[in-house]
Amino acid sequence: MTTQGNRKAIQLAVKSAELAMAVPQVVAHRVARMALSGSSQTPRDRKEFELMGNEKMSAFMESWSAMTLQVWRAYHQAAISALQSFWNPIFGLKKPTQSPSNQLNNALSSIVDKGMAPIHRRAVANAKRLRHTSLI
């Protein structure tokens, strides 16, 4: 794996760890808020619950769109690489810089990274915001 590939893998691992820390905090805060509010929700509770639903839908759509675009880019790059590997021996061009397995690894990690970014961004921001708010 290249240095850039190592850097991407480390960044993905850091994002995963941050997400693994933020999600339980957010869920715990919101579940506690739901339990405490019961059937009589305050306007603040309703706002938080509505935000929760809207955020999930928009994060999912952003994530899905980003992964779809990244899959298209990876497919396009693989097609170009395949064509180059076919034409290179014929015309004496230089060899591709990456092996197919490295290309696949980079493509998969990029797809996961792009898909995780909107979810990570919201979860970490929510954990930070909710850490400073009281349940009551």
Backbone angles phi, psi at 92, to 5 degrees: 70, 30
Tokens matching residue 100: 């197919």
The whole-number average pLDDT for the span 42-69 is 93
CA-derived radius of gyration, the chain: 22
pLDDT in tens, 56-113: 999 999 999 999 999 999 999 888 888 877 776 666 666 666 677 788 888 899 999 9
Segment 38-47 mean pLDDT: 88
Helices (H) and strands (E) in the chain, counts: 3, 0
- For residue 13, the SS3 value is helix
Note the pTM of the prediction, 2 decimals. Answer: 0.76
